[in-house]
Amino acid sequence: MPTVKTFKPPKSLSGKEFTYCPGCQHGIVHRLIAEIIDELGIQERTIMVAPVGCSVFAYEFFDVDGTVAAHGRAPAVATGMKRSLKDSVVFTYQGDGDLAAIGTAEIVHAANRGEKITAIFINNAIYGMTGGQMAPTTLLGMKTSTSPYGRAAENDGYPIHVCELLKETGGVAYLERTTVNTPQEIRKTKKALKKAFTAQLEGLGFSLVEVLSTCPTNWGMSPVEATEWLEENMKKEYKVGLFVDKVGDEK
């Protein structure tokens, strides 16, 4: 399918100015989600659930019905919505603290139930909103404000691999880990997002796209350094790729 390159903002973005730091990749992912909502023509039946984290205002940024869940509980909130309105399209947008620490139970069980929702998971290896504390995804040796000597396995355990964990649960219909460092990777992420939403629309089960993402502010780097650091360090720990795809190929 040919994609038309224009700089017109997608209809499904509200036009409210993003609250993200310069070089933060949250904004790129927002835009991609909005483009997919437009392309699939589902704006009028989409409900989004924002997390607690830097993207807490996401419910304002998308021009769809929305709410903010308690920290980590977005998959449960989305479950309640979807069980009530079976024809709606429900997605959560969650950081790694939200999804992989405080909300681990909610995401695992939503996935395992095959809840017909889509989760967009931003893995930036750190707690952005609260000022750079260690996340469950923080790399070994990585210094954060709560791992000032570097994350040590014997004290803090290991970086958690959400896709690898979830791929074993029966209810998952689509699962992919991507990045948005380069135009090609952005296009790949967009394709993954489209498949994830399609999995939901076709009633196949739970879908999740994990996007490895930069946090220049709390990594203490310039935006360019941050993309390089992601390339060299995060991608080694978190293998980009497709884990589950029950959608089938695009015609």
Partner 1 sequence: MADKTMVKGNEAMAEAAIRAGCRLYFGYPITPQSEFTEYMAKRLPEVGGSFLQSESEVSAVNMVYGAACTGRRVLTSTSGPGFSLMQEGMSYIAGAELPSVFVNVVRGGPGLGDIQPAQSDYFQATKGGGHGDYHAVVLAPGTIQEAVELVHDAFDIADKYRTPVIILADGMLGQMMEPVVFGEFRNLESLSDHLSWSLTGAKNREPHKVTSFNIDPYELEKMNMRYQEKYKKIIANEILYETSNMEDADFALVGFGTMGRILGSVIRRAREEGIKVGLFRPVTLWPFPYDALREAVADKKFVLDVEMSTGQMIEDVRLAVGDSLPVHFYGRTGGVVPNPDEVLRVLKERIEEVK
Ligand X SMILES: Cc1ncc(C[n+]2csc(CCOP(=O)(O)OP(=O)(O)O)c2C)c(N)n1
- Which residues contact partner 1 by CB under 8 A? 14, 43-47, 49, 56, 59-60, 62-70, 73, 76-85, 88-89, 105-106, 108-109
By C-beta, is 42 or 125 nearer to ligand X? 125
Q: How far is residue 80 CA from its own chain's centroid?
A: 20
φ/ψ of 99, rounded to 5, equals -85, -35
Pairing of β 172-179 and β 206-212: parallel
Please work out the total of residues on this chain that contact ligand SF4, with binding judged by CB under 6 A. Answer: 11
Q: Least CB distance from residue 2 to partner 1, whole Å?
A: 29
How far is it, in rounded angstroms, from Cα 79 to Cα 91? 10
Q: Least CB distance from residue 194 to ligand X, whole Å?
A: 23
- Binding partner selected for residue 21 from ligand X, partner 1, ligand SF4, none, CB under the kind-specific 5 to 8 Å limit: ligand SF4
- Residue 105 to residues 51, 111, 165, 178, 182, Cα–Cα distance (Å): 15, 10, 12, 23, 33
Which of 88, 94, 217, 227 is in the footprint of ligand SF4 by CB under 6 A?
Answer: 217
CB distance 77 to 84 below 8 Å:
no
Of 36, 9, 25, nearest to 201 (Cα)?
A: 36
By C-beta, is 118 or 124 nearer to ligand SF4? 124
By C-beta, is 99 or 234 nearer to partner 1? 99
Q: Is 75 in the site for ligand SF4 (CB under 6 A)?
A: no
- Structure tokens of 31? 């835009």
Which chain residues interact with ligand X by CB under 6 A?
A: 52-55, 71, 95-98, 122, 124, 126-130, 135
Q: Is 93 in the site for ligand SF4 (CB under 6 A)?
A: no
- Binding partner selected for residue 79 from ligand SF4, partner 1, ligand X, none, CB under the kind-specific 5 to 8 Å limit: partner 1
CB distance 53 to 98 below 8 Å:
yes
Q: Which residues are near ligand SF4 by CB under 6 A?
A: 20-21, 24, 26, 54, 124, 128, 215-218
